């Protein structure tokens, strides 16, 4: 544990999916315990969640994905964000510069949030990119058939834009390719204290969590399988044969995750990390054309922690259930420190923190406060 002077930190968090939010919570909690001050910048659902837990939370605009049927529509996502960018850019930059001028952050941490990284660079404040997606272009991994060349190229481009040439990268992962440079740090997955404080057990149910329309096609398949499923992600509470639906309650969800026999979910990294911490085998159903989710699912299968399933059928679900003992055996040999990610970030914070140039703050503030 570092015992040094307090640093004022600006923390930007992407709000597309809740994985960025839950991962960042673990880091924010750690930084606050070390005595640092943290201003949080995010949007949409992440803002609504975080403002209930922390005092210094600021609402900004955020980018989003557009879905078509069961897959990500890359073209629509690009055009939709480009169409709204001019207004969102101006309004968000004004919020950031106004707060930055008052608080004078000494370092920026960004979990895939473009605007905080961009303003940090404009103000010559060190930027730390803290997200798992950067593993795609900051390591020499061989991603095989994780997607088409187009989806991979778009993912790499979006990643470069979101991290905005950060000064350092801290990447949580459960697979470890070689990094491309000395300013890249690979760590074990990060898990929040709400998870690490719970003792896992093994019940009879399989937890299902997915928020896309794709999982609805799975319901009829699951009804044909001789197993009990607890389903989250649809905001309803009812029972349908062997499927029991729950409205989202964080405490209940964690208990059901900790007591599950296995987990069926998408390809999101954060829930995967929490399931792996509890040593739960995972059947991953990634979104189509979502390069990062497909990559996570493939690496999960490669390590023997579960299976990837693109078009789930009853036979595949049954096969996964039959193979649970083999996955659990592999998971029994997998151990990781869930606090390593936050610790490495704070080490960089203490190393990189600067005394901001107030003159630059004032000049940029004067420029952006004028009508545009």
pLDDT for 79 equals: 44
pLDDT in tens, 236-265: 889 999 999 999 888 999 999 999 999 999
User: What's the mean per-residue pLDDT of the chain?
Assistant: 86
Q: How far apart are the first and last CA of the chain?
A: 46
Report the pLDDT averaged over residues 223-244: 91
Position 160 scores a pLDDT of: 77
Answer with the residue of higher pLDDT: 161 or 202.
202
Other Cβ atoms less than 10 A from the Cβ of 153: the count is: 13
Query: Residue 134 and residue 140: Cα distance in Å, rounded?
Result: 11
Q: What domains can you pick out in the chain, each with its CATH number? A: 8-190+339-368 (3.40.50.2000), 194-331 (3.40.50.2000)
Higher pLDDT among residues 68 and 95, named by residue: 95
Question: Using 50, 70 and 90 to split pLDDT, how confident is the model at 81?
Answer: very low
Per-residue pLDDT of 59-74, as tens digits, reads 997 655 444 544 444 4
Distances 168 to 38, 180, 347 between C-alpha atoms, Å = 19, 12, 11
Q: State residue 48 phi and psi, 5-degree precision.
A: -60, -35
Each residue of 151-174: pLDDT tens digit?
A: 777 777 777 777 878 999 999 999
Tell me how many degrees the CA angle 156-160-162 measures, rounded to the nearest 5: 115
Q: Where are the alpha helices (DSSP H) in the chain?
A: 19-33, 44-50, 74-103, 114-122, 149-163, 193-196, 216-222, 250-258, 269-277, 291-302, 314-322, 324-331, 340-352, 358-368
Answer yes or no: is pLDDT of 370 > 70. no
Phi, psi of 209 (to 5 degrees): -140, 120
DSSP 95-163: HHHHHHHHH--SEEEEES-HHHHHHHHHTT--EEEE-SGGGGTSB----TTSS-HHHHHHHHHHHHHHH
Name which of 153-162, 202-211, 241-250, 274-283 the model is least confident about. Answer: 153-162
For 19, the 3-state DSSP assignment is helix
User: Mean pLDDT throughout 204-212?
Assistant: 87
Q: How many residues appear in the chain?
A: 372
pLDDT interval class at 234 (50, 70, 90): confident
Flag whether pLDDT at 273 surpasses 60. yes
188-202, 210-224, 302-316: least confidently modelled range = 210-224
pLDDT score of 217: 78
**Confidence (pLDDT) at 144:** 60
The yes-or-no verdict on residue 92 having pLDDT over 90 is: no
pLDDT of residue 3: 46
Contact 271, 190 (CB under 8 A): no
Q: Which of 139-148, 227-236, 351-360 has the lowest mean pLDDT?
A: 139-148
pLDDT at residue 222 in the model: 94
Q: Is the pLDDT of residue 82 over 80?
A: no
pLDDT value at residue 80: 47
Q: Is the model more confident about 305 or about 310?
A: 305
pTM of the model: 0.88
> What would the pLDDT profile of 122-138 be if each residue is shown by its tens digit?
888 999 999 999 999 89
Tokens 């964690």 sit at which residue? 254
CA distance 35 to 30: 9
Q: What is the pLDDT of residue 368?
A: 67
In this prediction, residue 146 has a pLDDT band, given cuts at 50, 70 and 90, of low
The pLDDT tens digits of the residues spanning 187-200 come to 999 999 999 999 99
């Amino acid at each position: 544990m570092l015992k040094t002077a307090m640093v004022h930190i600006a923390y930007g968090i992407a709000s597309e999916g809740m994985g960025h939010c839950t991962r960042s919570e673990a880091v924010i909690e750690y930084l606050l315990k070390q005595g640092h001050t943290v201003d949080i910048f995010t949007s949409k659902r992440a803002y609504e969640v975080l403002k209930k837990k922390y005092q210094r939370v600021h609402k900004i605009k955020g980018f989003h994905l557009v879905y078509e049927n069961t897959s990500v529509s890359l073209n629509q996502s690009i055009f939709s964000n480009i169409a709204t960018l001019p207004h969102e850019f101006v309004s968000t930059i004004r919020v950031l510069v106004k707060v930055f001028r008052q608080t004078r952050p000494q370092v920026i941490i960004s979990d895939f949030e473009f605007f905080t990284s961009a303003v940090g660079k404009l103000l010559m404040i060190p930027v730390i990119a803290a997200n798992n997606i950067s593993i795609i272009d900051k390591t020499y991994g061989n991603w095989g058939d994780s997607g088409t060349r187009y989806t991979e190229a778009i993912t790499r481009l979006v990643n470069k834009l979101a991290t905005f040439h950060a000064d350092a990268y801290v990447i949580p992962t459960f697979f470890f390719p070689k990094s491309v440079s000395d300013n890249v740090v690979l760590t074990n997955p990060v898990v929040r204290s709400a998870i690490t404080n719970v003792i896992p057990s093994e019940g009879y149910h399989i937890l299902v969590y997915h928020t896309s329309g794709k999982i609805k096609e799975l319901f009829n398949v699951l009804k044909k399988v001789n197993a009990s499923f607890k389903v989250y992600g649809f905001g309803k509470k009812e029972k349908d044969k062997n499927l029991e639906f729950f409205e989202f309650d964080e405490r209940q969800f964690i208990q059901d995750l900790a007591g599950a026999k296995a987990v069926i979910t998408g390809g999101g990294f954060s829930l995967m990390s929490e399931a792996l911490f509890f040593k739960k085998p995972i059947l991953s159903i990634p979104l189509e054309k979502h390069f990062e989710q497909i990559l996570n699912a493939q690496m999960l299968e490669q390590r023997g922690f579960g299976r990837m399933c693109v078009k789930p059928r009853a036979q595949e679900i049954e096969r996964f259930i039959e193979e649970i003992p083999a996955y659990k055996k592999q998971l029994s040999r997998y151990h990781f420190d869930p606090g390593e990610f936050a610790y490495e970030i704070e080490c960089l914070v203490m190393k990189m923190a600067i005394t901001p140039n107030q003159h630059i703050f004032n000049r940029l503030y004067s420029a952006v406060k004028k009508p545009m």
